[in-house]
Amino acid sequence: MDSIIEVVRCFENSNIIHVDGVINPTNDIEIIELELIYADLETVMKRRERVKKQLKADKSLAKEDLVLEKIEKAIQEHNPDIILSVGQAGGRFDITVERVGINMDDFRIPDNEGNQVIDDPVFSDGDNAYFVKLPVKAMVQNIQKNKIPASVSYTAGTFVCNHVLYGVLYLVEKKYKGKKSGFIHIPFLPEQVVDKKNMPSMELNTIVTGLTAAIEAIVENAEDIKETGGTVC
C-alpha cells in the first residue's frame, strides 16, 4: 500500500444521516486516524507474537547468538591470542579437551531460553567442521601429570557447547586470523549430583588445577605432541 485517502463529510444533507448526528470533519479525521493507529498496533502485536514463536523454532531468525556476540565483543576489547571456552558435560568423569567442532545444531532438549534448534547449521556459510589448532594432546598430558583424569574428545555434542566451540572457530577462521580457539568440558561438581545416583563429579579445586595445567600446556607448546589420544569408536 502506497497511500491512504481519507474521505470525510463536509456538507449537510437530511437524506444522509451522520453516524454521530452532527457534521464535524475535524472530529471525523481524528477518529479515522485513531482507528488506523489501533489497526497498526494490532498488526504489530500479532507480528511480535509470531516472531517470538519463530525465534524459538528457527535460530536463523534470531539475534540469538548472544554468547557468541559476547565472546566476539571480548575478542575485540582484549585482542587475545587464545580463546578458550569452558562448558559442563554431565556424565563425563574426566576433563575432556575438545578437538573438533561440527556445523550442526540439533538440540535434544530446549536450552535455558526455551529454544530448541533441530538440524540447523551453526553458520550456513561455514565448513562442515573446524579442527581446534591448540595442542590438545599436550593439554591432556599436562592435566594428567597433576593426577587428574583427562582425555581428548572428538565430539562436543550438538548442543550449546558445540555451538560455542564451532562458532568461535568460525569467527577465528573468518575474521580473526592468527588467533586460536578451543573448548574444554568439565564434569559436574559434587553438589550437583547429590540427587543423581552414580553420576560422576569432580571437586572445583581439582577442576581449577586441571584448567590451569591446560593453559600452561598451551603457552609451552607451539605445536602439539605426537601421542596416542584417539578413540576406537
Catalytic residue among 113, 161, 163, 227: 161
Residue 233 known to be catalytic: no
Q: Among candidates 129, 132, 123, which has minimal Cα distance to 179?
A: 132
Alpha-carbon torsion, ordered 215, 221, 222, 226, to 10 deg? -120
Distances (CA, A) of 82 to 2, 71, 165: 53, 12, 13
Catalytic residue among 72, 78, 98, 191: 98
Torsional sign, CA 116, 119, 124, 126: positive
Catalytic residue among 185, 216, 220, 233: 185
Residue 18 known to be catalytic: no
Could you tell me the three cell numbers for 50?
509470531
Q: Among candidates 206, 128, 114, which has minimal Cα distance to 162?
A: 128
Residue 78 known to be catalytic: no
Residue with cell 578451543: 182
β-pair type (180-186, 82-88): parallel
Q: List active site positions.
A: 98, 161, 185
